[in-house]
Structure 1
Amino acid sequence: MLESFKRLFAAKPEPAPAWPEVEAWARREGLPFRRVREGEGFVIEGRLDDLPWRLEWGPPQRSYIAGRELRMRMELDLPGDLQMLLLAKPLMDQLERQTYESFTEGLQTQIDTATPEEMRWLVMFPKVNLNAYRALRGRFGAVSALPSAVQAWLEGPLAQQLERALAGALQFDPPFVLMTLRGRAYLRTQLIDPDPAALQLLVGLFETAVRQALRVAAHQDEPGAEWPNTGSTAWQHFDDTKPR
């Protein structure tokens, strides 16, 4: 028995998860990479022109994402009322069903601040007509207080990037959200395997969405539009005070 205890205490702890291919990719791109404590995931930070962005991969923050989630965030100083949401069509249908059930069967009479913006906006904002985008209209849905803003956002480069993503990381319609909120841009999607090809594609998609959102904001010619303001927190990041 003494030997059993010796073997037990001599056992080495399991090594923390590592993502050598992702780390190598980040290094090639000149992007800082660090694991978060307890090996839950990693953080990559980059810049688009002079503006920083943050990428996190790890446990999901949304109940509609299973396994692992990739999320990106960027401070843009967009107009606070420029609120646009694009999401995968299956996810849109799912959230609409959940919202309907919550407010009918549960006899709930108002949307509380604990409800994610993705769900609240489906109730608050009108749907955007995506018929002009043949490759996208069956795979994505969108809502906004000003549908013309979303159409201008998608026009050209962003629509092209989304089409590329549908042949790659978004091929099987995983939960996917792309939105502008409180002056920021956000992307979140289910990503079980964070391989460099998927990361490269999604970073490119996000940066294109950012450039297009800035273009829309710069050419916004409808000063009379007043869009509803939401108050919940869309982003919670890892506690990476002890990065590895």
Structure 2
Amino acid sequence: MFASIKRMIAPSSSKGDEGQVLSSWAKAEGYAYKTVRDKDGGGHVVQVEDEDWRVEWGTSQRSYIHGKELRFRSETKLSPDVQILVVSRVLAHALETEVFSSFTNAMQTQVDNTLPEEMRWLPMHPRVTLSEPVVLSKRFVVLANAETVARRWLDDKLLAVLEDAATTWWTDALTMVVTVNRGRLTIRMPGQPLEEAQLHAVGRLCSQATRSLRAAALSSSAG
């Protein structure tokens, strides 16, 4: 994971102490860091106060992410009814296969409600056509139940950050899913191992995605 980034950082950064990696990154960026405890063993939280988003590391909440999970989350003030999914075509195909397998093995007549919401959206929501940048249109899938809102969100600034991610660290081998649902943006991926460069890169994406979503929310409410 993040092979292109790993080549640029020291080998000592991959010791497996995710709490230390998160703490060091948070300290360097001026973010608040804390350890949390719960029935599942607890984890770590980094709060970005200035931009009002957070990073969570702990037990995986998704069957397609094994071991620990890393989540970037923010509240966007977008309508809770809007649902958007951004995922690589490779991962979309893998998740669609799992949905189809679950559907046919159980001989169901509708999509299994126990599946994660983003997996249920794959056969439900229409795709938002991406024409530019070319790298995004070839490698990624965007689905939404509100295409106009999705296009407002995918403004020039966010597209530029997505294009940079697609050409540097967001590889086809990376299990990363971006969702917008109930007014919340969530970016989730495997949480082991962690690299500070990884946190910086995904943090930049989360920051811009959050700003663009809040702008889209204001635009939608105004018109």
Map of 1:1-244 to 2, 5 A cutoff?
A: 17=17, 19-37=19-37, 41-49=43-51, 52-220=52-220
1:23-43 superposed Cα distances (whole Å, 9 cap, x missing partner): 222112221112344976421
The Cα of 1:60 is off from its aligned counterpart by 2.2
Any conservation in 2 of the 1:82–1:217 contact (CA below 8 Å)? no
1:153-195 superposed Cα distances (whole Å, 9 cap, x missing partner): 2231111112222344423531111121111111112243221
Give me the TM-score of the superposition, normalised by structure 1: 0.74
Any conservation in 2 of the 1:153–1:212 contact (CA below 8 Å)? yes
> Which residue of structure 2 lines up, in the alignment, with residue 239 of structure 1?
none
Q: Please identify which structure carries the higher helix content.
A: 2
Distance 1:80 1:60 in 2: 24
Gaps of 5+ in 2: 1-15
Distance 1:195 1:95 in 2: 26
Distance 2:18 2:182 in 1: 34
User: Could you tell me the percent identity over the aligned residues?
Assistant: 34
Match of 2:189, as an amino acid?
T
Instruction: Give the structure with higher Rg (CA).
Output: 1
Residues 97 and 46 (structure 1 numbering): CA distance in 2 closer, same or farther, change over 3 Å? same
Any conservation in 1 of the 2:91–2:172 contact (CA below 8 Å)? no
Task: Provide the secondary structure at the position in 2 that maps to 1:165.
Answer: helix
Give me the TM-score of the superposition, normalised by structure 2: 0.81
Residues 18 and 215 (structure 1 numbering): CA distance in 2 closer, same or farther, change over 3 Å? closer
Q: Higher mean Cα deviation, 198-207 or 82-91?
A: 82-91
Name the Cα RMSD after superposition.
Answer: 2.5
Any conservation in 2 of the 1:88–1:173 contact (CA below 8 Å)? no
Task: Provide the secondary structure at the position in 1 that maps to 2:130.
Answer: coil
Residues 107 and 71 (structure 1 numbering): CA distance in 2 closer, same or farther, change over 3 Å? same
1:39-71 superposed Cα distances (whole Å, 9 cap, x missing partner): 76421111244xx32211234221112343210
Distance 1:118 1:48 in 2: 29
Task: Provide the secondary structure at the position in 1 that maps to 2:136.
Answer: coil
Matched pairs, number? 206
Gaps of 5+ in 1: 1-15, 224-244
Distance 1:145 1:138 in 2: 21
> Which residue of structure 1 lines up, in the alignment, with residue 9 of structure 2?
none
> Which residue of structure 2 lines up, in the alignment, with residue 230 of structure 1?
none
Task: Provide the secondary structure at the position in 1 that maps to 2:49.
Answer: strand
